[in-house]
Amino acid sequence: MSSRLATLLASLLLASAVAPVAARAESPAAVAPTPLRAETRHVGRFNGQEVRYRAVVAETLLPDRSGAPAAVVVTTAYLREDAEPAAARPVMFIFNGGPGASTTPLHFGAFGPMRRLGQGAGQVMVANPDSPLDAVDLVFIDPVGTGYSRPLAGHDGQAFWSRSGDAASVSQVIADWLTTHGREASPRYLLGQSYGTTRAALVVRQGQVKFDGVLLFALVGNVDGLEMPYITSLPSFATVAWWHQKIDRAGRSAEQVYAEAVAFARTDYVQALIRGASLPAAEREALAQRMSALIGLPAQLILAKDLRLSNNDFMFNLLADQGLRTGQLDGRATARLDAPPQRPPMDDPGLNFSLEPAPAVSAAPPKVGGIAAQSREPAALEAYFRDTLGFDAPVTYNSLNLDVNAAWDHEGFTDANRFLGEAMQADPNLRLFWASGLFDLTTPAYRGRYVLDQSGAPPERLTHAQFSGGHSVFTEEANRQALAQAVRDFVRPKE
């Protein structure tokens, strides 16, 4: 799979359903709608602490060029009440990626006060003791076309479905939220996953809001050329081969294999690729043998691919002798090679993969107002918004919108991480947090390291957390707890 297609798919994954954008009921000629808002109070236990908090779900209107309302963005904020004054308390703005993915994975899988478990009609909402709400207020942003956010009648949303249009709209939503809630003086953090890391870099570039720190999960790096796409993928191939025992582990951990593969990629491998056709046949064959020992593919296949292996080359050949392929979002996952074709990203066995067993849930469909609900995955989320948070939306919740993804203008696919490096050089107080999964083939860990190194981000202000997981490391409890603690430490640095 090409790096461009991988970028398109990244972090669509883990959002749970595909549904059309539902337009609000106003006619194009209607007056500006009154933004909906709901506020409720709750008590939860996070990181071992009892926490009282407010939940505020609110619509923000976004104008078109004439100033008329063109779209609605919905934010869901969780604000601790029994702590220090709000102005002193950090606040973190959170989004996923896609493009076209709602905040569902981070909101209801990692950091929100409630998590969603199960699939289809058997979903349940349970308390999330790992939420970092004890340390930082959380504001989840669903960009236009995702969640309850949508274009208004008479607008097609295209103005918001590009790198620049999306970044401008999200920046405006954050600025408005800070003003509305009187939090201009609060420490401010920005968190994006997958394409959300690109969005975060572009929001920082906008300069409308100044941030104390930026958190990047499953960092998207756009790398081109005859060497770097292959150099930066190889260490993740090695860890996936380690997982499936297609290489000799020799007592090494996945982390050790990863480190060895990075050292090889940075030295002998890149030097060989740079030499190209001038590399002598004997050296080429020796290098293929070394690669085979690292990533588990036959040396002859590696030679046939000119030492340059795509994701598809790796995923569809590593376990071919067993009739299997690996996942891309999570290389630990497998599927039959002869499985019926599905529309991407549903064809990826790494989608929603977790080592944790699925929870036991009732097979009976939930009831809404005494009537059995349809077996539609957003149902549990809609019930939560309506019954727990008091937000009765006029449209259905859109977890994943592939139409938005198809309509997106990537404006050249250039790497956006340089904007983070530039911002850090301009602001000596700006810090960066980066989390990666060892088995993520969609946004490989070393590719994230490489693009940050090239961005000019000062290494002394970069915090890296690596996990034994895939694209969304928080699908497993141990990772989720460790990630939440790392986030707490980042937003509450010790003096």
Q: For 57-61, 74-78, 122-126, 165-169, which range has the lowest pLDDT when averaged over its residues?
A: 122-126
Give the pLDDT confidence score for residue 495 in this predicted structure: 59
| Residue bearing the bigger pLDDT, 282 or 22 | 282
pLDDT tens per residue across span 165-212? 999 999 999 999 999 999 999 999 999 999 999 999 999 999 999 999
pLDDT tens per residue across span 405-433? 999 999 998 999 999 999 999 999 999 99
pLDDT of residue 19 exceeding 80: no
pLDDT of residue 98 exceeding 80: yes
pLDDT tens per residue across span 327-360? 999 999 999 999 998 887 788 888 888 887 766 5
Give the pLDDT confidence score for residue 318 in this predicted structure: 98
| Residue bearing the bigger pLDDT, 73 or 118 | 73
304-333 burial code (b ≥16 CB/10 A, e <16): ebebebbbebbbebbbeeeebbbbbbbbbb
Give the pLDDT confidence score for residue 171 in this predicted structure: 97
First to last CA, the chain: 45
Give the pLDDT confidence score for residue 371 in this predicted structure: 28
Give the pLDDT confidence score for residue 377 in this predicted structure: 56
Strand-pair category, 49-63 with 69-80: antiparallel
Q: For 64-78, 194-208, 306-320, 334-348, which range has the lowest pLDDT when averaged over its residues?
A: 334-348
pLDDT of residue 119 exceeding 80: no
pLDDT of residue 90 exceeding 80: yes
CB contact set of 289 (below 8 Å; sequence gap of 6+): 299
- Residue labelled with tokens 């292959």: 230
Give the pLDDT confidence score for residue 123 in this predicted structure: 84
pLDDT tens per residue across span 248-259? 999 999 999 999
Give the pLDDT confidence score for residue 6 in this predicted structure: 45
Give the pLDDT confidence score for residue 391 in this predicted structure: 96
| Residue bearing the bigger pLDDT, 121 or 128 | 128
State the pLDDT confidence band at 29, using cuts at 50, 70 and 90: very low
Q: What is the mean pLDDT of residues 470-485?
A: 95
Residues forming a β-bridge with 217: 193, 435
Q: 45-51 long-range CB contacts below 8 Å, 24 or more apart?
A: 45/127, 45/129, 46/113, 46/128, 46/129, 46/130, 46/131, 46/132, 46/133, 46/134, 47/129, 47/130, 47/132, 47/134, 47/135, 47/484, 47/485, 47/488, 48/129, 49/134, 51/80, 51/82, 51/133, 51/134
pLDDT of residue 362 exceeding 60: no
Q: What is the mean pLDDT of residues 298-327?
A: 97
Mean pLDDT of the chain: 89
pLDDT tens per residue across span 224-249? 999 999 999 999 999 999 999 999 99
pLDDT of residue 494 exceeding 90: no
pLDDT of residue 3 exceeding 60: no
pLDDT of residue 69 exceeding 60: yes
- Contact assessment for residue 142 and residue 21, using Cβ atoms and an 8 Å cutoff: no
Give the pLDDT confidence score for residue 5 in this predicted structure: 40
pLDDT tens per residue across span 429-475? 999 999 999 999 999 999 999 999 999 999 999 999 999 999 999 99
Return d(Cα 34, Cα 25) in angstroms, integer: 13
Give the pLDDT confidence score for residue 31 in this predicted structure: 55
Give the pLDDT confidence score for residue 12 in this predicted structure: 44
Q: For 4-13, 150-159, 196-205, 257-266, which range has the lowest pLDDT when averaged over its residues?
A: 4-13
pLDDT of residue 64 exceeding 50: yes
Give the pLDDT confidence score for residue 359 in this predicted structure: 60
pLDDT of residue 361 exceeding 70: no
Q: What does each C-alpha distance from 121 to 296, 303, 356 come to in angstroms?
A: 40, 49, 20
Return d(Cα 183, Cα 187) in angstroms, integer: 9
State the pLDDT confidence band at 79, using cuts at 50, 70 and 90: very high
pLDDT tens per residue across span 368-399? 223 222 334 578 899 999 999 999 999 999 99
Give the pLDDT confidence score for residue 314 in this predicted structure: 98
Give the pLDDT confidence score for residue 373 in this predicted structure: 28
